[in-house]
Structure 1
Amino acid sequence: MPSAAERTRTLVQSTCSAVLLVPGVEAARPDQLSPEARAVGPDGEVFLLFPADSPVVRAATHAQDDELAAVLEITDVAPVAVPNRIRGRAWVSGWLTCAPGLATEPGCMMLRLEVGEASIDDLWGASGVEAEEFARAPVDPLVAHETELLQHLHSAHPDQVQALAGLLGDRGKGAVASGRRAVPLALDRFGLRVRFTGEQPFDTRFDFPEPVRDITGLRRAMHTLFEAAAH
């Protein structure tokens, strides 16, 4: 399974929605707290792009040499329609400063969040993450494609996803008999997570034979998975 640090780092570098929580600007509108772009630097710091006149930029500018605490909160929502759609949240806390000269877009300012600690609460469970772990963690190679891939599986291959119930033995037979619908919920280099809907929905993981490194490897892994379910 992916480590808590890898899962957190992947969410930070995904397209999931995020807000930057800074003391003193709680009254700002949610859209004013959402960075227009974000990236992780070579030392694990998080760079956040905001309009130069945004409340968080003003707060960071006024703080100057003082340590301004801030928390980046990321919410991960499944890209397909499914009950209980929020897949998890991550929090990255640290100290915020302005990084003049890094923003290439006119009228914007880049902010630098020096990470102190992080935590995640997702489909795998809840865990804390040290700053050093976050800085070293790899990003899941499928993160840029996961939304498109899950939506494709859901719309173009629902029967094959449903057939994965055959790999679950009696529990899978019961799921099919009760009319539960299989929805692809999450995808990473280790495997596919499917949610079987119904009165008492449940999730199950289908692990790949080995971690995939790219889309080509994913195609082979998914073919193997569907072949196994078909026999």
Structure 2
Amino acid sequence: MPSAAERTRTLVQSTCSGVLLSPGVHGALPDHLVADERTVGPDGEVYLVFPADSPVVRAATHAQDDELPAVLEITDVAPVSVPHRIRGRAWISGWLTRAPGLAEPGRMALRLEVGETSVDDLWGAESVEPEEFARAVADPLAPYEAELLQHLHAAHEDQVQLLTALLGRRSAVPGRAVPVALDRYGLRVRFVGERDGYAGERGGATFDARFDFPEPVRDVVGLRRAMHRLFEAAAH
């Protein structure tokens, strides 16, 4: 399974929604707390780009001792329609300072020095040390995950449903199979109990099943091979 540090790093470097919270920023609209860009530096610091006149930049500019305490909260939502769509959250807390010269005119980059990190997702809740976060590498499939899951759900629904055959005793549980998460180690499918159609949240048996690949994949080409083998195993 991916480590907590890898999962957190993947969320930070993804396109998931991220809001910057700070006691030094008052009265800002939620949209003003969302960075235009989000990247991770070589030492594990997080760079956030905002409009130069944003409340966050003003607060960082006038912060005492030139450091503004802040928390970056990231929310991960499944890119397919499924009950309980929030797949996880991550929190990166630390100190915010201006980083002039790293953004184009009219914008300002802010540097978040990481102090504490935690993640609560489909794997569980864990804390991550700053050093672990700095060393971790984001999942290579993360840039393509949303598109791949949507493609699986729309074009290969019957094959995903066949994975029920690999569930053993749980294969007798009726439900619709929805691919809900994908990483280099495997595919997670949510089996949504059907009651009055697609109504898993109304009392049907809903559960997740994890289908691990024989070995971690490195790219989309390796993923295609791994998925082909997985579907072949389910069909036989």
* Structure 1 length-normalised TM: 0.96
Tell me which residue corresponds to 1:133: 132
Tell me which residue corresponds to 1:203: 208
Q: Secondary structure at the match of 1:145?
A: helix
Q: Distance in 1 between matches of 2:86 and 2:27?
A: 25
Tell me which residue corresponds to 1:192: 187
Q: Note closer, same or farther for the CA distance 1:64–1:165 as it changes in structure 2 (3 Å cut).
A: same
Tell me which residue corresponds to 1:21: 21
1:138 deviates by: 1.2
Q: Contact conserved, 2:118 with 2:128, CA < 8 A, in 1? A: yes
Stretches of structure 2 lacking an aligned partner (at least 5 in a row): 194-203
1:65 deviates by: 2.9
Q: Contact conserved, 1:208 with 1:221, CA < 8 A, in 2? A: yes
Q: CA RMSD in A?
A: 0.9
Q: Distance in 1 between matches of 2:81 and 2:63?
A: 42
Q: Secondary structure at the match of 1:119?
A: strand
Q: Distance in 1 between matches of 2:30 and 2:91?
A: 16
Q: Contact conserved, 2:60 with 2:67, CA < 8 A, in 1? A: no
Matched, 1:183 2:178: yes
Give the count of matched residue pairs: 226
Matched residues, percent identical? 77
1:27 deviates by: 2.4
1:77-226 alignment runs, 5 A limit: 77-104=77-104, 106-172=105-171, 174-175=172-173, 178=174, 180-198=175-193, 199-226=204-231
Deviations 1:166-207 (A, max 9, x none): 0012211x12xx3x1000000000000000002121001000
Letter in 2 for 1:229: A
Q: Secondary structure at the match of 2:209?
A: strand
Q: Distance in 2 between matches of 1:95 and 1:200?
A: 44
Q: Contact conserved, 1:64 with 1:97, CA < 8 A, in 2? A: no
Tell me which residue corresponds to 1:32: 32
Q: Secondary structure at the match of 1:144?
A: helix
Letter in 1 for 2:235: A
Letter in 1 for 2:176: R
Q: Note closer, same or farther for the CA distance 1:189–1:26 as it changes in structure 2 (3 Å cut).
A: farther
Q: Distance in 2 between matches of 1:103 and 1:202?
A: 44
* Structure 2 length-normalised TM: 0.94
1:68 deviates by: 1.3
Deviations 1:151-170 (A, max 9, x none): 00000000000000000122
Deviations 1:102-153 (A, max 9, x none): 002x311000000011000000000000100000001100000000000000
Q: Distance in 2 between matches of 1:59 and 1:2?
A: 36
Letter in 2 for 1:200: A
Q: Contact conserved, 2:89 with 2:119, CA < 8 A, in 1? A: yes
Q: Secondary structure at the match of 1:169?
A: helix
Q: Distance in 1 between matches of 2:59 and 2:211?
A: 46
128-137 or 59-68, larger mean C-alpha shift: 59-68
Stretches of structure 1 lacking an aligned partner (at least 5 in a row): none
